[in-house]
Amino acid sequence: MAVCPSCGLPTPHNGPCPSSHSLSTGLPVLQGRYEVVHLLGQGGMGTVFMARDLRLQGRDCVVKKLRDDFYREEDRQKAQAFFEREAGVLSRLQHPNIVHILDYFRENDDYYLVMEHVKGHDLHYILQDRGEPFDEDQQVIPWAIQICDVLNYLHSENVIYRDLKPSNIMIDLKGQVKLVDFGIARAWEDAGENTHVVSAGYSPPEQYWGAATPQSDIYALGATMHYLLTGKDPEALHASSPKASNEAVSNYTDQLVQRATAQDMSQRFQTVEEMREALLEKDYVPAPETPRSRVGEIVVGVVLFVVACLLYLGPQVLEPLLPKSIKQSLPPQILSGERDYPEGPPSQGLLKPPPPKPVQKDPLTQRNVSNADLTVQVMDEKELTDPSGASETGETQNKLFGGITLPWSRPIDGNK
């Protein structure tokens, strides 16, 4: 029996293809093509459904629908911008460890994103289901290396992922990593971006004020490794040490995670490739050292020995034995026996300590100032401001940072 290539119904049928429901199953059909099967999950900005592509012999796919229950219009517009950005980012990325986008459309004032169906589960679900941490060498390190590969690809495309965490990392039936949910990924050079979107424990300090960099993804990978090695979410805004919760973690991996999650970006791995090399270090066998010529070292040693003899045994003894080339290279004071000790004879001048530095005085108090009096000046800001400069109340700050009290923040009213 012939079927309609658009909706899968027997042809011919009267009128346009039904786009709201399949006549055979009663399930919703989007664009006359994607038949919704069942709900997969609910996220912060969208609902995810399992579906079938009726044009491609019922091939499985995933349909993500933008939420429509936002309280404020401002939130709705921001979520819509994220949704459209996700479609735009995914449309230009081609990597085996990134979920593929199949379609993007708007229907009945709702926005939809169609992606490939990854047969597997995310790492958060898998760990919760097994009830214990993953093996360091057999699972965590190989997965981390795969994630480094895909992050390196993203950064080469000037894309910062910004949302790396166990629930966004799928493991397919072949054990391969698949990154999903690119809703807050953005272009690296987008200097005007100041979106405060974080995942507590997995987002670095700089991401709390919208200043994400490639090192921010490195931080999130280190935090993810902490979770996989311990089964516990990392503490927000702290360097992670998985060995503190799981003694089976090796010292090497523990130090690697601590470096990746350093609060200061300059102390982290500076590139994903650098972290990848560190992950491979356990299996790295250094090449044998190439033998080097020691002739130069011997010549330098002989010259230094001769100079020392001239200084301490006297030039008159060794001068007749020196070649003419060496005599010409030595200062005339050495050959003449003259010695210049501006600080006095050797028994005093060579061991004489340097004169003390003058004591500085405070211009206001006339007190002597020493190094012990110096302190580090710390900026004491009572308010956090958004990029436009408008002050935020303490309540707004709590919403902005997901209810997290930052260690450097203070109440607006100035109470200590």
Is the CB of residue 183 less than 8 Å from the CB of residue 82? yes
Residue 82's identity, in one-letter code, is: F
Provide CB contacts within 8 A for 310, sequence distance 6+: 318, 319, 330, 334, 335
Helix (H) or strand (E) holding 150: helix 141-156
User: Judging by beta carbons within 10 Å of its beta carbon (0-12, 13-18, 19+), is residue 8 exposed, middle or buried?
Assistant: buried
Residue 109's identity, in one-letter code, is: D
Q: What are the φ and ψ backbone dihedral angles of 368, each rounded to 5 degrees?
A: -65, 135
DSSP character string of 65-84: EE----SSHHHHHHHHHHHH
CA–CA dist 163, 147 (Å, integer): 13
Residue of 75, 137, 149, 163 marked catalytic: 163
CA–CA dist 283, 296 (Å, integer): 36
Is the CB of residue 61 less than 8 Å from the CB of residue 46? no
> What are the structure tokens assigned to 353, written together?
């300590």
Whether residue 291 is preceded by a cis peptide bond, meaning omega within 30 degrees of 0, is no
CA–CA dist 249, 267 (Å, integer): 22
> What are the structure tokens assigned to 185, written together?
């990924």
CA–CA dist 287, 283 (Å, integer): 13
- β 368-369/34-42 pair status: unpaired
> Considering Cα of 340, then 344, then 350, then 354, what sign does the dihedral take?
negative
CA–CA dist 137, 39 (Å, integer): 35
Q: Assess whether 163 carries a catalytic annotation.
A: yes
User: Judging by beta carbons within 10 Å of its beta carbon (0-12, 13-18, 19+), is residue 229 exposed, middle or buried?
Assistant: buried
Q: Which residues pair with 3 in a beta bridge?
A: 10
List, by residue number, the catalytic residues.
163
